[in-house]
Amino acid sequence: MLQSKFFDFQQNAHPSVRTMEGGYLSFLPLNRHYQIGNNLEAIFMELDACVLLELKGTVDPDGFRVDPAMGEISFWQLYQFMNTSQLYLPHSLPLSDNRCISFSTAAEKIPLLLNQGKQWAVLIGYKNDAVADLLKEFPMLASLAYRNESPNTNAYWEPDISINHSLRDAWNRLRKPEYLPFRGKGELLLDVCRLLEEYCRQLDRQADQNERSRLGLYHKALAYINENLLDSINKHDVAEGLGVSWRTLNRAFEDRPVKIAEYIQRTKLNQAKNLLYEGEMTVDQISNLLNYPNRKYFSREFKKYFFQTPSSFQKEMGEFRKDNEEEE
């Protein structure tokens, strides 16, 4: 079983009997490969300066959660090659396919949800002990390494960027026909450095002042939505609350993986799902708390996102908790 101080897995990861097909780290020895459930595979590798986790396969309708830990890690990078995911820093940051984001937080761990369907993602965590030397070569990452906090949260993240042709080439160079036991780790670390170098070049190219301004407004809007989630809130309320025009707010959401109305709905439904899981409130109470017009509308929207009704999900989670208590 994969037990790591660097990750908190929602499900157990057991040693695999075969290597992952088509992964960037597939060349690593079989003892680095793991099976999670029936259809998701993982490859984990720890180096002197960083750790790597590749996840590839099919995720069930409920999604798959893996929480990167911060204890010995200075900052993380998430490369989302296929499908979408959501980071919680503490509000949800959606990431679409072929995008990369770097992030850090003062919290102990960072909830990461891989959404339903075919998934392919790689996490790279850079260790605290290596940060001083890393910043001598990559000084623009200082905000991540030293966790300069944003005004509204105890986390920091750089703008997500496209995994363009140059970054994809850097990943392809990381692939090897075989893993050499003596120099394998050194070569892999060198490839990670080349990847980080290309990432910094791409980050620098898009970091113009206007983009930074739009990004700041985008994150302020996400934070505002989460802080006022229990109110009857819409996109115009967000613009008014932030003191900007709707047109300005709309521009901040251009080219983002999720639009503002969808984000409000998705965040409310995720909150509803958490409350249903806890089992302390009824479906009607949760519907009223989150300001849905009625239970019927709430149930329809919940089923649209999670493929089952709130009542069915709450019953299923109650049975799950009961089984766990009996096992203990």
Rounded CA-CA distance 321/279 in Å is 10
Are 250 and 306 within one domain?
no
CB 147 within 8 A of CB 106: yes
What is the pLDDT, as a whole number, of residue 185?
94
| CATH number, domain containing residue 153 | 2.60.120.10
Asked if the structure places residue 2 within a domain, the reply is no
| Residue 195 sits in the same domain as residue 136 | yes
Q: What are phi and psi of 237, to 5 degrees?
A: -65, -40
Residue 241 CB contacts under 8 Å (≥ 6 apart), including other chains? 224, 228
Same domain? For 191 and 225 the reply is: no
Question: Measured in whole angstroms, how far is the alpha carbon of residue 313 from the centre of its chain?
Answer: 23
DSSP sequence for 148-209: PPPTTSSEEEPPPEE--HHHHHHHHHH--SS--TTTHHHHHHHHHHHHHHHHHHHHHHH--H
Tell which residue, 177, 174, 188, 173, has the closest CA to residue 27.
177
Q: CB neighbours of 26 closer than 8 A, spacing ≥ 6?
A: 19, 20, 43, 175
Residue 220 DSSP one-character state: H
In-domain check, residue 306 = yes
Q: Output the pLDDT for position 243.
A: 86
Residue 100 in domain: yes
Residues of the chain with pLDDT under 50: 148-152
Together in a domain, 114 and 163: yes
> Burial of 323 by CB count in 10 Å (0-12 exposed, 13-18 middle, 19+ buried)?
exposed
Please state the pTM of the whole predicted model: 0.69
Most distant CA atoms of the chain, gap in Å: 64
Cβ-contact 41, 66 below 8 angstroms: no
- Residue 75's pLDDT is 92
Rg, Å, the chain Cα set: 21
Residue showing tokens 């990381």: 174
**Are both 219 and 92 inside the same structural domain?**
no
Range of the domain at 219: 209-257
Q: To 5 degrees, how large is the angle CA 234–CA 235–CA 237?
A: 70
User: So what's the pLDDT on residue 93?
Assistant: 85
Confirm whether 99 is domain-assigned.
yes
Tokens of 7: 């990750």
Residue 249 corresponds to which tokens in the numbers above?
């707010």
- Answer yes or no: are the C-beta atoms of 59 and 117 closer than 8 Å: yes
The answer to whether 126 and 50 are in contact (CB under 8 A) is yes
Instruction: Give the count of domains, the chain.
Output: 3
Give SS3 for 46: strand
Residue 138 lies in a domain: yes
Residues 203, 215 within the same domain: no
State whether 131 and 110 are in the same domain: yes
CATH number of the domain encompassing residue 268: 1.10.10.60
Residues with Cβ within 8 Å of 248's Cβ and at least 6 positions away in sequence, in order, are 217, 239
Considering 172, 187, 207, which residue would you say is the last residue of a domain? Answer: 207
Statement to judge: residues 45 and 178 lie in one domain: yes
pLDDT at 148: 47
Chain centre distance of CA 195:
19
Any domain includes 1: no
165 and 283 co-located in one domain = no
Q: Do 299 and 240 share a structural domain?
A: no
Residue type, 269: L
DSSP code for 55: E
